[in-house]
Structure 1
Amino acid sequence: MKTRIKHLILICLGWMFVSLGIIGVILPLMPTTIFLILALGCFAESSPRFHQMLLDHKWFGPPLKQWQHTHSMRRDVKKKVYLIVVLSFAISIGAVWGHVWLQLMLFVIGLVLLACLSRIKESN
């Protein structure tokens, strides 16, 4: 029973991440690639069919295949992700102006996210 529940949760999370990735195609401050990588990971553990569907997708497939094989991101994609993280966290910190603890928390989360992103290998 636990395996079935885990399977369903991973499929639901995978589709949620795909949805967020599609929204990211439309909204300029929302990252697409990272959500699709998360979806790919969820589907790899729960649904080979959905996993392969993402890898075979005309637009999203090539960067996802690159990630799956080399665990690297293209340099231009990585630069865009850096910019999006910095801008979105700066806007969020500005939006909670006057709430020092929230600002500090957002700042620390942003730094951790940037540190994690810096550890991802780059490809040309």
Structure 2
Amino acid sequence: MKKIINGLCIILGFLCIGLGVVGIILPVLPATPFLILAAVLFAKGSTRFHRWFIQTKLHKNYVEPAMGKRAMDRGAKVKALITLFIIFSVSFILVPIWFVKIIILAVALFHFYYFGFKIKTAAVRQEEVRDYGKRS
């Protein structure tokens, strides 16, 4: 039974990596939560895959900043808030039931409060700014 659970964790880990990569490309889908979930699933399913994943650029660029500093850079925060605004606005407009609209509004306000006041904004290091200028 343990082998089945470990295999399922590995398969779900790779699925989460795929969703995380799609989230990097599409602004509607958040990447970091899926990549964090992939790390957790690999830790549960296989030490070999977990070691491999924590050495990838995906882990270093998305998971470590979120877990280590407990902060987001300004660009990631703005992207997340815009995505949340679009999703909650569309949901609010499409749902015909007023009670559900109130719930959507409450959840949206909580998200905006949490991103705005609870998650710190990480300062961009000067070498990151210089490296970004070289890529352009």
Give the TM-score normalised by structure 1: 0.71
Q: Which residue of 1 aligns with 2:98?
A: 100
* Unpaired runs of at least 5, structure 1: none
Q: TM-score, normalised by structure 2?
A: 0.66
Counterparts of 1:38 and 1:31 in 2: how far apart (Å)?
Answer: 12
List aligned pairs for 1:20-99, cutoff 5 A. Answer: 20-96=19-95, 98-99=96-97
Are 2:9 and 2:42, in contact at CA under 8 Å, matched by a contact in 1?
Answer: yes
State the distance in 2 between where 1:40 and 1:30 align: 18
C-alpha distance in 2, partners of 1:103/1:94?
Answer: 8
Q: CA deviation at 1:114?
A: 2.7
For residues 116 and 41 of structure 1, the distance between their equivalents in structure 2, rounded to whole angstroms, comes to 23
Question: Structure 1 residues 14-23 or 31-40, which shifts more?
Answer: 14-23
1:116 to 84, 93, 114: 114
CA RMSD, 1 decimal: 2.8
Secondary structure of residue in 1 paired with 2:57: coil
What is the distance in 2 between the residues matched to 1:5 and 1:115? 41
Task: Say which SS state the counterpart of residue 29 (structure 1) adopts.
Answer: coil
Give the Cα separation in 2 of the matches to 1:6 and 1:56: 24
In terms of Rg, which structure is larger?
Answer: 2
Contact in 2 for aligned 1:24/1:30 (Cα 8 Å):
yes
Identity %: 29
CA deviation vs aligned residue, 1:74-111 (integer Å, no higher than 9, x gap): 22111211111111111111121x21122122222222
